[in-house]
Amino acid sequence: MSDFGIPQFPVARPRRLRATPALRRLVRETRVSTDNLVMPLFARPGKGVRRPIASMPGNFQLSVDELVKEAREIHKLGVPAILLFGIPDKKDAKASGAYAKHGIVQTAVRAVKDAVPELLVITDVCNCEYTSHGHCGIVHKRRDGALDVDNDATLELLAKSAVSHAEAGADIVAPSDMMDGRVAAIRRALDKTGFEQTPILSYAAKFASGFYGPFRDAAESPPQFGDRRTYQMDYANGDEALREVALDIAEGADIVMVKPALAYLDLVRRVKERFGMPTAVYNVSGEFAMVKAAAKNGWLDERTVVMETMTAFRRAGADIIITYWAKDVARWLAV
């Protein structure tokens, strides 16, 4: 007993449980699994096309035949899902390629589902890759003379795209446009056309971010004027992000996403704790590219940093991690 009558116990030593790899594995609180991973892929017209994306080493714009080969490899590695983006051969003001029956995404979905039916195919539902101006919807002139995206006119295009993806065989549709009311519009359209069981993964809290730069090269979708700050979120606003997520859930979202991931882990935790919904993060192109560049220069070890990052996503509350490292992580986990 101490002078104060407090029993004396041996001092706790947390390091005891860090002494060996086996002990560390035994008490590990957060685990990353291939089950958590989604691999983004970029489909483009042509045959035998495997065009490197310079700012995203190891990633390519793929023709459908090459994309099917990639899908087979991804499935073999145990990654359960891919997220498809399309790069059409023609663009116009109404994004007609986004909802064309034989559009690039629709064609890619059918090919992948025919070749690898067990692989989940998630389709990005947006217009920026398909519009001649690079914005996410129908552009109109506001009263002050400025050009902007017409929210309500865009909803019809998004709904048409989502239905066309479901008709092609998409397992999940993922609206990324940040138009108000788009989840409700897509849900109504899917239900009306017999796709009541098709889930919606909503880019619920998508921020106007500097981390998207390489993606716009990959998807060939930079805006031709202005930027996307009138519809994507201000990165300073956390409470607004929760309101956006709540609205999408009320409109019928089955999975919600926070994008980007690394700079927004506080919001991933808040979303998961507040709503308890299946929660995704998008480990975006800029996050990928900066690690690749640092690793190339020998400034850090890529595998160590990537696995630490994936664990951070899971620790924050993410159930689903969309990442360009999905194949690498699957290989590393298998060792």
Of the residues 91, 113, 160, 259, which is catalytic? 259
Percentages helix, strand, coil for the chain (3-state, rounded to 5) are 45, 20, 40
What tokens appear for 257 in the block? Answer: 């996403």
Distance CA 261, CA 54 (A): 22
Distance CA 208, CA 204 (A): 13
Distance CA 215, CA 202 (A): 19
Look at the chain and count its residues: 335
Closest C-alpha to 245, from 204, 213, 294, 288: 204
Closest C-alpha to 247, from 146, 179, 321: 179
DSSP 8-state symbol, 306: H
Q: Strand pairing partners for 200?
A: 173
Q: Vertex 45, ends 207 and 149: CA angle to 5°?
A: 35
Q: How far is the CA of 194 from the CAs of 30, 163, 188, 304, in angstroms?
A: 39, 9, 10, 46
90 catalytically annotated: no
| Number of neighbouring beta carbons within 10 Å of residue 231 | 19
Those residues whose C-beta lies under 8 Å from the C-beta of residue 36, and which sit 6 or more positions away, are 310, 314, 318, 319, 320, 321
Q: What is the dihedral of CA 99, 105, 107, 109, to 10 degrees?
A: -120
Of the residues 91, 113, 206, 327, which is catalytic? 206
206 catalytically annotated: yes
Helix (H) or strand (E) holding 191: helix 182-192
Instruction: Give phi and psi for 191, each to the nearest 5.
Output: -65, -40
Catalytic positions are: 206, 259
